């Protein structure tokens, strides 16, 4: 039987991380984002997939893609079973391959599904020669599998973007809503309402998401959980534990102690 959940990392490929989930009913997420580019496969069952403003039902054979910073979540449908594989790839490495972020957020292409399944199989096999070159070829060829979906027009809102940038720059500081309002020049009521419409999270939720991302990066280095919690702006280890589990459906310890399977 496939494990409920396992993270995979390999020191030889520090720019990539994977997750295998055998029972998605036990791995449920709140809306969250990643600093990396994420791509994954639904290998069994069905689930709901929220990406930005869009929510769709996806099933076995589907491929999902999440660009950095895009709020998303995948969760089971009325307790139905589902399983999946996810790949998280650091943006600096992808940029070095000339990779452009896709506008498409999911695909039912059988050729793409089959190709990505082979990518996962090769990635998990340490005997495969030059796995990095194989990954590079996949991401260079990914646009060939995707539809020509026009990117959505982005209605500029400099003050809301400034609020988000301020929180990213000060995510480990004890920020108040008044601090954020003062930095971007918006009223409390307008900021709360408009920020959620633009980013999919409240200012508090966005700040918490940023702190979880900071903690995630440090936990990958094997650091002590309590130390990471304080550095990332959490009140204590228990506070990090609650937020981490909500955002990543895993405890900090389970995530930190992941190893190559």
> Which homologous superfamily does the CATH classification assign to the domain defined by 158-256?
Homeodomain-like (1.10.10.60)
Q: What is the pLDDT of residues 22-59, one digit of tens each?
A: 888 888 888 899 999 999 999 999 999 989 888 899 99
pLDDT of residue 260: 45
Model pTM? 0.88
pLDDT of residue 54: 86
pLDDT of residue 3: 74
**Residue 9: CB partners within 8 Å, gap ≥ 6?**
17, 18, 220, 258, 259, 260
Q: Which of these, 225, 221, 219, 209, lies nearest to 171 by C-alpha position?
A: 209
pLDDT at residue 1 is higher than 60? no
Q: How far is CA 106 from the centre of its chain?
A: 14
- Tell me the pLDDT of the chain averaged across its residues: 92
- Tell me the average pLDDT across 135-147: 95
- Tell me the average pLDDT across 104-115: 95
Q: Which comes out higher in pLDDT, residue 26 or 250?
A: 250
Q: How many CA atoms lie within 13 A of 123 on its CB side?
A: 29
Domain boundaries, the chain: 5-145, 158-256
Q: What is the pLDDT of residues 166-209, one digit of tens each?
A: 999 999 999 999 999 999 999 999 999 999 999 999 999 999 99
Buried b (16+ CB within 10 A) or exposed e, 226-260: eebbeebbbeebebbbebbbbbbbbebebbbebee
pLDDT at residue 261 is higher than 90? no
pLDDT of residue 79: 76
Of 1-15, 101-115, 232-246, give the lowest mean pLDDT range: 1-15
Percent of the chain, pLDDT > 70? Answer: 96
Architecture of domain 5-145: Sandwich (2.60)
What secondary structure does DSSP assign to 225-237, as a single string? HHHHHHHTT-SSH
Residue 247 contacts residue 209 (beta carbons within 8 Å): yes
Q: Which comes out higher in pLDDT, residue 200 or 149?
A: 200
DSSP state of 260: -
pLDDT at residue 76 is higher than 90? no
Coil, strand or helix at 114: helix
């Amino acid at each position: 039987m496939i494990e409920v959940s396992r993270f995979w990392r390999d020191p030889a490929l520090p720019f990539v991380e994977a997750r295998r989930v055998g029972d998605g009913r036990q791995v449920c997420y709140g809306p969250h984002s990643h600093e990396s580019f994420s791509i994954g496969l639904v290998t069994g069952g069905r689930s709901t997939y929220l990406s930005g403003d869009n929510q769709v039902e996806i099933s076995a054979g589907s491929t999902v893609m999440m660009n950095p910073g895009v709020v998303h979540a995948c969760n089971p449908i009325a307790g139905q079973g589902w399983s999946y594989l996810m790949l998280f790839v650091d943006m600096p490495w992808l940029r070095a391959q000339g990779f452009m972020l896709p506008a498409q957020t999911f695909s039912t292409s059988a050729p793409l599904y089959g190709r990505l399944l082979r990518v996962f199989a090769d990635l998990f096999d340490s005997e495969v020669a030059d796995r990095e070159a194989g990954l590079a070829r996949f991401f260079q060829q990914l646009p060939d599998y995707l539809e020509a979906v026009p990117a959505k027009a982005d209605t500029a809102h400099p003050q809301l973007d400034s609020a988000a940038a301020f929180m990213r720059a000060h995510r480990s500081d004890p920020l108040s809503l008044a601090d954020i309002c003062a930095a971007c020049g918006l009223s409390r009521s307008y900021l709360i309402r408009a920020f959620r419409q633009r980013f999919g999270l409240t200012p508090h939720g966005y700040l918490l998401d940023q702190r979880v991302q900071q903690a995630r990066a440090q936990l990958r280095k094997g650091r002590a959980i309590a130390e990471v919690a304080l550095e990332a702006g959490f009140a204590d280890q228990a506070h990090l534990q609650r937020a981490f589990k909500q955002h990543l459906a895993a405890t900090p310890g389970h995530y930190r102690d992941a190893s190559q399977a």
